């Protein structure tokens, strides 16, 4: 009789993690669905951009707010880049790097 109680006591911490993962997964699915609607080709450019911003706001609200922004100094010390927590550090090479949306090339400070 003691073994099931010990097993249950050990599994309690994992029960909350499963529901948190499920909620995060659901939030991400809703966000992707919202983006699909925004990118369906039915909206003008300004309306599409507003739709994407609103989808991001709803996702941030469901996650408890946007990720905290962390200032990072570039390796040469000439600039400070503000990035979301967990983002990769600023690049160290002088090669241009495409932006996330692919619309621009970013040349790191030398």
pLDDT, one tens digit per residue, over 66-105 is 878 888 887 778 788 888 777 777 666 667 778 888 888 8
- Arithmetic mean of pLDDT over the chain: 77
| Cβ-contact 82, 69 below 8 angstroms | yes
Per the model's pLDDT, the better-predicted residue between 11 and 76 turns out to be 76
Inter-CA distances, 21 with 11, 15, 26, 39, 96, Å: 16, 10, 9, 27, 36
Q: According to the model, what pLDDT value does residue 93 have?
A: 64
Two tokens at 7?
Answer: 């097993």
pTM of the model: 0.47
CB atoms within 10 A of CB 83: 14
């Amino acid at each position: 009789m003691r073994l099931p109680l010990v097993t249950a006591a050990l599994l309690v911490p994992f029960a909350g993690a499963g529901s948190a993962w499920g909620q995060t997964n659901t939030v991400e699915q809703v966000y992707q669905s919202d983006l699909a609607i925004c990118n369906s080709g039915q909206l003008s450019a300004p309306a599409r951009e507003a739709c994407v911003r609103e989808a991001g706001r709803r996702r941030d609200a469901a996650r408890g707010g946007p990720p905290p922004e962390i200032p990072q100094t570039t390796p040469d010390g000439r600039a400070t880049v503000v990035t979301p927590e967990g983002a990769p550090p600023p690049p160290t090479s002088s090669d241009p790097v495409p932006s996330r949306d692919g619309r621009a090339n970013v040349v790191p400070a030398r």
